[in-house]
Amino acid sequence: MPPEQQKERENMANPIVTCRGVGKKFGTGELAVHALRDIDLDILPGDFATLAGPSGSGKTTLLNMIGALDHPTSGVVTIEGQELNGLDKNELSDLRLNKVGFVFQAYNLIPVLSALENVAFVLELQGRDKAERYARAMEVLAEVGLEGMEHRRPSALSGGQQQRVAVARALVSKPSIVLADEPTANLDSATTSELVDLMHQLNRESSVTFVIGTHDPRVISRSKRHIEMIDGRISSDTRD
């Protein structure tokens, strides 16, 4: 068997994330809203996947399930074989800290901290010593093209640069998967292209697994896997 096929078979046998029969309902009775319905999904190592669909289709809710930010009403989510349903609040927090990186639309940087301090903060939460966390943060900031800007606060960075800091923060702990929710919504076309190029490079050269919730055609057109959602269901799932 060629090495590429062997690798693909291994990835399919060892998904990072599995969702089985996952549903999410908000409210009760006749006013209940079914945000997700019977989602079955595997995210494989090395995926560069987009979750697309109209507003209200369930993209963000599904990202929240995958990232252990919310609990499904029904079904099971696992990350690297560990079921999330049975984990308590502290265990879920540890899992998110160590296995999942997040990139948000609004960047969510701490304004009083420098780019370096924002990125290193994740490692501080993990209990790493100062020298180690700052060395690693410097390394990742260089990877995302921000060498020389490490000591700038968010207010002294452009929107695209702030989003690069957010990507560095998501990557710094070497998580199993990076989840991005509308990461280009506040960026112009040129900056969006640069950000997608960066994420592609990280996916290709460092095997970082990305799942990106977006309705931006500029991002969707560059994805290696396209998952379309409508009315809380996956309507299609295709790979290039």
CATH number of 3-239: 3.40.50.300
Q: Tell me the chain's radius of gyration from C-alpha atoms.
A: 18
Alpha-carbon distance of 51 to 162, in angstroms, equals 23
Residue 82: which residues within 8 A CB-CB, separation 6 or more?
95
Query: Which of 75, 70, 73 minimizes the C-alpha distance to 19?
Result: 75
pLDDT of residue 1: 52
Q: Tokens at residue 123, please?
A: 């490692």
pLDDT tens digits along 16-49: 999 999 999 998 887 889 999 999 999 999 999 9
pTM of this structure: 0.90
DSSP 136: H
User: Could you tell me which residue, 79 or 31, shows the higher pLDDT?
Assistant: 79
pLDDT at 191 over 80: yes
Provide the residue ranges of all domains of the chain, joining segments of one domain with +: 3-239
Give bridge partners of residue 236 from the DSSP assignment. 228
**How many angstroms separate the first and last alpha carbons of the chain?**
21
- Give mean pLDDT, residues 61-85: 94
Chain centroid, CA 112 distance in Å: 24
- What is residue 193's predicted lDDT score, i.e. its pLDDT? 92
Q: How confident is the model at residue 6 (pLDDT cuts 50, 70, 90)?
A: low
Q: Which of 21, 50, 26 is nearest to 37 (CA)?
A: 21
Span 151-168, average pLDDT: 95
